[in-house]
Copies of this chain bind each other. A is one copy, B any other.
Amino acid sequence: MSPYYTQDTMEPLGVPLPTLRRLPLYLRLFEQKAETGEEWLSSEAMARELGFGAIQVRKDLGAVGALGSPKRGFPVGETCRLLGSFLGAEDFSETFLVGTGPLARAVLSDEGLEKRGFRIVAIFEPDPRAPRPSDRKYQPLERLPELVKRMGTRLAILAVEPCWAEAAAEVLARSGVAGVLDLTGVTLAFPKEMAVVRESFCAGLSTLAGNVRAKKARGA
């Protein structure tokens, strides 16, 4: 039985999007504590470390059904498992990677992914003339839809060069994957039944710059 129910009503939970974005941060904290062998972690300690309110931390954790204990906080091991299974692993561990350039390489060498239970199970390249990376096998992009069907994969990471982004996005759109992590930085249209998370260095930096500016405007 899937564990994602609120504690009291036993209704499946719609976790608010902002909460969803914070959950990975909590998970990391719990994992760190697990490594040092600590058993309990309080919302206030987390809040201090992350720079936002303790009540928010509790609400967020409560939203996925995490259960803490008065005076001590949240049990490290159990909460780790709960967050880990909610956030990925388990149902969504198998992921396709589209692209073989520097960005795709960065994804492949990210230790965090496998630590969290995600596994890149196949790599695809849309450009037939792309230099062939020596260290891992990859397939032409056209074969992706077929493999999605055969393997039941539901997640894909799009990390191709900008010029190939649209072509690749179209293939993905028709492929039947449920969600795409779009790292291309190009504005791509996906059917709206697909889940899309867009992330790019550029957008991140822009947001940061805007942030700094806003902070200064308020503070000074």
Name the B residues within 8 Å of A206 (CB-CB).
23-24, 27, 87-88, 116
The one of B49, B198, B210 in contact with A25, judged by C-beta atoms closer than 8 angstroms, is: B198
- A211 in the interface (beta carbon within 8 A): yes
Of chain B, the residue at the smallest CB distance from A189 is: B49
Interface-central residue, A49, A87, A209, by most chain B CB under 10 Å: A209
Which of A66-74, A126-134, A179-187 is the contact stretch? A179-187
Which of A101-109, A136-144, A167-175 is the contact stretch? A101-109
Could you tell me if B208 and A204 are in contact, using CB atoms closer than 8 angstroms?
A: no
- 7 chain-A/chain-B pairs, Cβ below 8 angstroms: A12-B217, A28-B187, A49-B189, A102-B102, A102-B106, A110-B201, A116-B205
Could you tell me if A109 and B101 are in contact, using CB atoms closer than 8 angstroms?
A: yes
The one of B102, B103, B204 in contact with A181, judged by C-beta atoms closer than 8 angstroms, is: B204
Q: How many copies does the complex hold?
A: 2
Of chain B, the residue at the smallest CB distance from A198 is: B25
Known pairs A105-B105, A199-B204 / 17 extra A-B pairs, C-beta < 8 Å: A20-B214, A24-B206, A28-B187, A51-B192, A87-B206, A88-B206, A88-B209, A91-B209, A103-B106, A103-B109, A103-B110, A118-B205, A155-B208, A179-B208, A183-B204, A197-B207, A199-B201
Given A185-B28, A186-B28, A193-B219: A107 touches B213 (CB 8 Å cut-off):
no
State A215–B92 Cα separation when bound (angstroms): 14
